[in-house]
Amino acid sequence: MEKLFIIKIGGNVLDNAGALEAFLKDFATIKAHTILIHGGGKIATKLGEQLGIAANYHNGRRITDAPTLDLVTMVYGGLVNKQLVAQLQRLGCNAWGVTGADGNLIQATKRPVKDIDYGFVGDIKPENVNTKLLATLLQQNVVPVFAPLTHADGKILNTNADTIASVLAVALGKLYDVRLIFCFEKKGVLRDVNKAESVIRHLPRELYDQLLPQGVFADGILPKLENAYAALNAGVKEVLIGEAIDLVKNTGPETEGTLITL
């Protein structure tokens, strides 16, 4: 199977013009099939303030009411997405900006209201990814750039960018050898949270099971690792947690970040 890198960037890259430019330059040099997924960064919140749209959060997740939905559709699907695409095009990378609505690439289910109404938020599953159309684009050497938006029943829905990355990785894991890369604010998963240089370069399941009872993993990294192993169990070949600045190495055989495998 051919290699496919699925790379997710968030605010720590998007909100820093210098870091973003450096990242895009490195990204454009990747010589393999690649998909980029971006979050929204601070721009949506800033524009929301200008427009008097208050940001409401519950457990760290933004509640997407109707004005917020319009805001994120504009900012994520329009401004951020198209600026990334135009910049990558200049760098010789045939980027193509999409949301899950385009070509029905990711059909979602609006999150059911239980204790909390998250509003216009889409939950997604690998079965609802249009892998055929995505593979058609990839075979044309196009680089899909996903905004964190999906759709259901005629509506755009807000969907977590990490979730989109994982779901795409699982769905495309049937057709490609996928390395799913999360750009993180640290070099990788640390053996000692106070030592930046204590990156665990390779974290196979066996080592994880050894280190877990020793309390090595901090609360912040645990859910990411659990999600990583879930993706691997569902057919993703490798998951990498690393810093955006190390992208070139992290798409190569000897990674700077933490390569997680079964």
Residue numbers in the known binding site are 40-41, 62, 158
25 binds a copy of itself, rule: CB under 8 A: no
Enter the tokens of residue 137: 């684009």
51 binds a copy of itself, rule: CB under 8 A: yes
* Segment contacting a copy of itself by CB under 8 A, of 25-33, 83-91, 168-176, 218-226: 83-91
Would you tell me how many other CB atoms lie within 10 Å of the CB of residue 130?
Answer: 16
17 binds a copy of itself, rule: CB under 8 A: no
28 binds a copy of itself, rule: CB under 8 A: no
* 168-203 burial code (b ≥16 CB/10 A, e <16): bbbbbbebbbbbbbbbbebbbbbeeeeeeeebbeeb
Least distance between a copy of itself and beta carbon 245 (Å): 21
Least distance between a copy of itself and beta carbon 90 (Å): 3
CB 192 within 8 A of CB 199: no
87 binds a copy of itself, rule: CB under 8 A: yes
**Long-range contacts of the stretch 185-191 (C-beta < 8 A, 24+):** 185/12, 185/243, 186/243, 187/242, 187/243, 187/246, 187/256, 187/257, 188/241, 188/242, 188/243, 188/255, 188/256, 188/257, 188/258, 189/217, 189/221, 189/225, 189/241, 189/258, 189/260, 190/218, 191/216
Query: Which parts are annotated binding residues for substrate?
Result: 40-41, 62, 158
Least distance between a copy of itself and beta carbon 241 (Å): 29
In the complex with a copy of itself, the residue whose CB is nearer, 134 or 189, is 134
151 binds a copy of itself, rule: CB under 8 A: yes
Interface pick for a copy of itself out of 34, 64, 68, 73 (rule CB under 8 A): 73
Closest CA to 7 of 38, 53, 44: 38
Here's the x/- map for a copy of itself, 199-238, by CB under 8 A: it reads as ----------------------------------------
Q: Residue numbers of the site for a copy of itself (CB under 8 A)? A: 47, 50-51, 70, 73-79, 81-83, 85-87, 89-91, 94-99, 101-104, 132-133, 136-137, 140, 142, 149, 151, 153-156
